[in-house]
């Protein structure tokens, strides 16, 4: 509930500012968030860090902000914290799992999200070279051998005239154990016995004695 309260001022400001603030209307260019690294393999209980890298396809680094959601599957990843959150014009930062009741990222397995928001009234966000890292989400892994999960991204709001694109980061468990099957083929053995008979010659000698 605290995370939802944190994001409400962000949404309220958007409505009051109209065209100057953020809008969820899809009109043209794209604000992009990519999970870094794209893939990583972790054993159960090992630390997992996924960084949200931000870019814009028209290279404009002077927009009005972004409302970002970071999604994960709580059965496979234990959320620890957000770190290295971009401080420029930050107005909201969640501290734990908020239920993704609307399936905002289109993945029913990622039932948790943590929101982060930035809003620039002067339209100068983030005003640094792009791409730039917005935040790093830290977890411990529960991914078992042979399984995997994704950390995904969605937007609660975008700059006016922009849509959103999120590229997930994949977390793999260790390789599944391999099963080795041994097949033994027996070759029949044929034994040939050869018997050679040697002819036997018998000589009979008769001796006559004179009488």
For 153-190, give one letter per residue: b (16+ CB within 10 A) or e: bbbbbbbbbbbbebebbebbbbeeeeeeeeeeeeeeee
How sure is the predictor about 6, in pLDDT bands with cuts at 50, 70 and 90?
Answer: very low
In 26-123, DSSP assigns E strands to 29-36, 39-41, 47-56, 62-63, 65-72, 77-83, 90-93, 98-99, 112-119
Q: Identify whether the C-beta of residue 161 lies closer than 8 Å to the C-beta of residue 23.
A: yes
How sure is the predictor about 188, in pLDDT bands with cuts at 50, 70 and 90?
Answer: low
Question: DSSP label at 1?
Answer: -
Mean pLDDT, residues 57-75 taken together: 98
**Which pLDDT score, from 0 to 100, does residue 70 have?**
98
**Which pLDDT score, from 0 to 100, does residue 132 have?**
98
Residues 119-128 have pLDDT tens digits of: 999 999 999 9
Q: Tell me the C-alpha distance between 66 and 31, whole Å.
A: 8
Q: Identify whether the C-beta of residue 99 lies closer than 8 Å to the C-beta of residue 111.
A: yes
Residues 136-165 have pLDDT tens digits of: 999 999 999 999 999 999 999 999 999 999
């Amino acid at each position: 509930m605290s995370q939802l309260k944190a994001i409400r001022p962000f949404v309220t400001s958007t409505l009051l500012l109209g065209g100057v603030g953020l809008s969820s209307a899809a009109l043209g260019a794209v604000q992009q968030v990519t999970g870094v690294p794209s893939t990583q393999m972790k054993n159960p209980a090992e630390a997992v860090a996924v960084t949200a890298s931000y870019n814009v396809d028209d290279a404009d680094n002077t927009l009005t902000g972004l409302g970002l959601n970071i999604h994960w599957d709580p059965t496979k990843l234990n959320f620890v914290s957000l770190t290295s959150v971009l401080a420029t014009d930050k107005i909201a930062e969640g501290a734990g799992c908020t239920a993704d009741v609307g399936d905002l990222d289109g993945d029913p397995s990622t039932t948790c999200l943590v929101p982060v928001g930035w809003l620039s009234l002067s339209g100068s966000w983030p005003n640094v070279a792009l791409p730039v890292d917005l935040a790093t989400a830290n977890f411990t892994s529960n991914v078992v051998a042979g399984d995997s999960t994704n950390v995904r991204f969605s937007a609660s709001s975008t700059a006016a005239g922009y849509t959103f694109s999120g590229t997930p980061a994949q977390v793999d468990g260790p390789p599944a154990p391999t099963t080795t099957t041994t097949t033994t083929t027996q070759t029949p053995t044929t034994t040939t016995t050869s018997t050679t008979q040697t002819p036997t010659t018998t000589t009979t000698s008769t001796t006559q004695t004179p009488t």
